[in-house]
Amino acid sequence: METLLQDLRYAARSLRKNPGFAAVAILTLALGIGASTAMFTLVNSVLLRALEFREPERLVMLWERNPSGNEENVVSPANFFDWREQAESFTELAATFDRPLNLTGGGEPEQVLTRLTTGNFFSVLGASAQLGRTYLAGEDAEDIAVLSHRIWQRRFGGDPAVLGRTIDINGQLLTVVGVMPAEFRSVGMKPEIWVPIELNEEGRGRFLQVVGRLRPGATVEQARTEMTTIGRRLSEAYPDANTGWGVNVVPMHEQVTGDVRPALLVLLGAVGLLLLIACANVANLLLGRAAARRKEMAVRLSLGATRPRLIRQTLTESLLLAGVAGILGLVLATWGTAALVRLLPPDLALPRLDEVGVDGRVLGFALGVSLFTGVLFGIAPALFASAVRLGETLREATRGSTGGRSALRKALVVAEVALAVVLLVGAG
């Protein structure tokens, strides 16, 4: 530990003696690390972070596949009830649909997005109310409502006494029984109010979205196989309504993230290439610095220092640069992602934008990237700087020889150009 502290103090002194070099290296790395961390923050929030439901890996969406091959068509009530009766891969199925409805009571009349659902909707998701309760299976016909946290704050001032209050939705008087927590993310659009509804079991019009919870041990593939069989059965039983129609089962996380996964991963790869280019630039700077210090290294070897100690010392400088750049990059990433979320148009089809933020996984990524880049751009200059012999180094200093350094720098330039070409080709 004492040796490490000595190396850190020596590295800090060495970098303070050359502030221009340190500033350029840190800024270059910070931009690369910041861009990578910002992009990973998006990927983490949109793709990697689990949905905030109970056992979200068991949640799926069920759609009808039409004769033209469209995989995600809304479902008829009749088919929904048949699915619920016949399917054994699920513990529960719930149906929902959204409507903009007029709200009066508690303020000026306004139109709000209302999600009408079967009574078991919240139990399928495994969601609980922050205030009061959600409605339950068997309450489909009850005149009750659950408020979102947004409308509770905006229209009712966050008053806990809203429970039991009557509101008017399109002329129907409903009693408020609960308020959902602010972090509750419903599927699809952002409804302000949830209301139970009793569906007509014979209805053939298609307008429902169906969410299901897999039984413990059941897989999505098993559910798909079973629902394909049920779909064929319904096509034979009700040919007028279901001929050519099938069933599609989609994991909830996949449904929420939609088609953005490939684009986000490509962008993450692109900023990764930018980071590698930044590392190559800093490695070039360090090679120039190492060449200027070869005489110093030769003298230290003659005084008893070992080559591994010199390599460790030089790598410590690189890791110190990377550590400072990592902290600055994390700050830039935090500011950048916050600004990006604010500036993006609200109608952009990027899910979970309101969940974007730095968490433990992002901090771990930033730390890992900083350590990786510190070793990546520091190892070649460290090896070059430590590979010295006193007599040869003094003669090279007299002649001004730079052969080894020149070869390494040329290799780094070639690598930078290759990475830039890959990036440009990928950008189209």
Residue 207 confidence class, pLDDT cut points 50, 70, 90 = very high
* pLDDT exceeds 70 at position 33: yes
Q: Write the CA distances from 166 to 143, 161, 171, integer angstroms.
A: 10, 11, 12
The answer to whether 57 and 188 are in contact (CB under 8 A) is no
DSSP per-residue string spanning 56-89: GGGEEEEEEEPTT--S-B-B-HHHHHHHHHH--S
Q: Tell me what the mean pLDDT of segment 300-326 comes to.
A: 78
Residue 282 confidence class, pLDDT cut points 50, 70, 90 = confident
Please tell me the distance from the alpha carbon of residue 369 to that of residue 329, in angstroms, as a whole number.
Answer: 10
Q: Is 97 left (phi over 0), alpha (psi -120 to 50) or beta?
A: beta
* pLDDT exceeds 90 at position 1: no
Least confident of 7-21, 105-119, 217-231, 263-277: 7-21
Model confidence pLDDT, tens digit, residues 341-353: 887 766 566 777 7
Model confidence pLDDT, tens digit, residues 245-268: 999 999 998 888 877 888 888 888
DSSP per-residue string spanning 141-176: TS-EEEE-HHHHHHHHTT-GGGTT-EEEETTEEEEE
Q: Which residues contact 290 (CB under 8 A, 6 or more apart)?
A: 314, 381, 382, 384, 385, 405
* pLDDT exceeds 60 at position 79: yes
Q: Tell me what the mean pLDDT of segment 83-90 comes to.
A: 96
* pLDDT exceeds 70 at position 402: no
In three-state secondary structure terms, 128 is: coil
Token look-up 């088609």 returns: 259
Residue 290 confidence class, pLDDT cut points 50, 70, 90 = low
Residue 30 exposure: Cα atoms within 13 Å on the Cβ side: 18
- Which pLDDT does position 18 carry in this prediction? 84
Residue 422 confidence class, pLDDT cut points 50, 70, 90 = low
Please tell me the distance from the alpha carbon of residue 130 to that of residue 148, in angstroms, as a whole number.
Answer: 10
Please tell me the distance from the alpha carbon of residue 393 to that of residue 400, in angstroms, as a whole number.
Answer: 10
- Which pLDDT does position 185 carry in this prediction? 78
The answer to whether 14 and 308 are in contact (CB under 8 A) is no
Model confidence pLDDT, tens digit, residues 167-192: 999 999 999 999 999 888 777 778 99
Considering the entire predicted model, what is its pTM? 0.76
Task: Find which of 338-342, 346-350, 410-414 is predicted with most confidence, using mean pLDDT.
Answer: 338-342
* pLDDT exceeds 90 at position 389: no
Least confident of 1-10, 158-167, 223-232, 342-351: 342-351
- Which pLDDT does position 156 carry in this prediction? 92
Residue 206 confidence class, pLDDT cut points 50, 70, 90 = very high
Return the percentage of the chain with pLDDT > 90, whole number: 48
Structure tokens at 321: 């640069």
- Closest Cα to residue 76, out of 95, 61, 91? 95
Q: Tell me what the mean pLDDT of segment 271-294 comes to.
A: 79
Q: Tell me what the mean pLDDT of segment 52-57 comes to.
A: 90
Q: Tell me what the mean pLDDT of segment 325-345 comes to.
A: 87
Return the percentage of the chain with pLDDT > 70, whole number: 83
